Structure 1
């Protein structure tokens, strides 16, 4: 069963499944609330801000809101991209990931609980992502003063992260995973967001997480434009 195979790949791929068109039942919530109620995303950004600040022994005000918003955005995108990417690689179609169809539990820290409707072969992964949750999450995050360049870089990073995690967990899937990742990264929406040299992916922006540390002196991600 493909769902079991996807779940076995790791926490960011793991998800539950609910029948298409069903309403979320507590403790599940419909992910479209991020679009319908600005307070939901604001609460998650502020909670992320406090979490990042505590990790550096600081007060929440020491972390810029745009930093917390970027990290929030990256986490949301990565969590949605990963299971859809893996399902597509395994050849079982694509689950709907438009936010109206997705159920979640907005707990903080790592991979939050996620439930998707069953995949179908009639869906195209690129269209499902770039016509659904990606522009929607970009749009609702922009009021936190995160540049479009950073948001697009977060998406590219999430796709590459799903590729790396999947191939580490299942090396035999690497050729197909690379094919799917390359197609997504070539999408016009991600133009000029990344480079790949000698097999090494590097984004052309920074998610800003280093700025959450005291004196803006935190570690950089491995794919960061600032890494050397």
Structure 2
């Protein structure tokens, strides 16, 4: 199963470790984001520095909350993608928390990730937003981000995972669409997105990355609420 996940792309690739076990060095528990504020603060600082360098602007001009949102979106996409893919492949997903996920942190969103074996056990379990997603919202909220932005990031990350999965395995398109609809219908996300009159997914918030550009006038993402007004149903 790990090989099949890797075949979908770097966001889906994941090592596996027995549930309840620590895979050992160089793996680190992602719970450190919850338990050690310096870890999340250092990651936000690294993302802020990267955004400043990429935009050729002073680091001080990049709002901390913008870097925190970009960090959150990347972590959500990386941790949800393999779990979403397992659900599409007919594997029951248990309530996976950050304490059950292990990583080898590096700047960027395709860091090495290990998920517990129990996360993909056979069965017909209900599709649920894993606790890890809620915990990542908790991690990012201390940097001044609203729950509206954070929920939008999760919805956007899931939709991106769906697009990448279907591109890699078109034969899974119908199952992936059904699974995405179930995940997006969960109470956490139900009011975080909208389908426009054109049939396009659009989140009801912005990840704020445009504010990292000179004059805070950067481009917005393809699903951003700022791209154009939401069309009526």
**Range into which the TM-score falls when normalised by the shorter chain:** over 0.9
Cα offset, 1:181, TM superposition: 0.2
Contact 1:157 1:223 in 2 (8 A): yes
Give the equivalent residue in structure 1 for 2:109: 110
Give distance in 2, aligned partners of 1:169 and 1:21: 31
Cα offset, 1:125, TM superposition: 5.9
Give the equivalent residue in structure 1 for 2:61: 62
Give the equivalent residue in structure 1 for 2:121: 120
Cα offset, 1:196, TM superposition: 1.5
SS at match of 1:100: helix
Give the equivalent residue in structure 2 for 1:137: 136
Cα offset, 1:80, TM superposition: 0.9
1:5-49 C-alpha deviation (Å, 9 max, x unpaired): 111000100111112222142221001111111111111001100
Give distance in 2, aligned partners of 1:156 and 1:86: 15
- TM-score w.r.t. the length of structure 1 is 0.93
Give distance in 1, aligned partners of 2:55 and 2:124: 43
Give the equivalent residue in structure 2 for 1:209: 209
| CA root-mean-square deviation | 1.6
Alpha carbons of 1:4 and 1:96: their partners in 2 closer, same or farther (altered >3 Å)?
A: farther
1:105-164 C-alpha deviation (Å, 9 max, x unpaired): 1101231110111122368464351xx112211112111011111001001101111111
- TM-score w.r.t. the length of structure 2 is 0.91
SS at match of 1:53: helix
Give distance in 1, aligned partners of 2:152 and 2:194: 11
Comparing 190-199 with 77-86, greater Cα deviation is found at: 190-199
Give the equivalent residue in structure 2 for 1:184: 183
Give the equivalent residue in structure 1 for 2:231: none
Contact 2:29 2:98 in 1 (8 A): yes
Cα offset, 1:190, TM superposition: 1.1
Give distance in 1, aligned partners of 2:200 and 2:82: 23
Contact 2:76 2:154 in 1 (8 A): yes
Q: How does 1:96-107 map to 2 (within 5 A)?
A: 97-107=96-106
Q: Which runs of 5+ in 2 are unaligned?
A: 229-233
Cα offset, 1:95, TM superposition: 6.2
